[in-house]
Amino acid sequence: MKAQVLTGSKKEIADTVMRISGEVREAIVFVEEPTERGEQAFGEDLFAGMEPYSVKAGGADYSREAVYSRIESE
């Protein structure tokens, strides 16, 4: 089984899902909620709700600095 990421408008994504052979088991949908003033809430952490489901690699440093810095043997 492989995961597939779909991008595009709602219609484009729905059309693609209809063409996928197999079973669709889960979908993550980002729904923008209006603020009290009726404005769009920018700057909120969209992924905070998915934190309990995220993978934690013990001891690994995935910060930008660590990813783009060379280690001694490179």
Confidence tier at 1 by pLDDT (50, 70, 90): low
At 2-26, the pLDDT tens digits run: 777 888 888 998 998 889 888 888 8
- Residue ranges per structural domain of the chain: 10-68
Tokens 């889960």 correspond to: 26
CA–CA dist 40, 32 (Å, integer)? 7
At 25-65, the pLDDT tens digits run: 888 888 777 766 655 555 556 677 777 777 666 777 777 88
Which DSSP category does 15 fall into? H
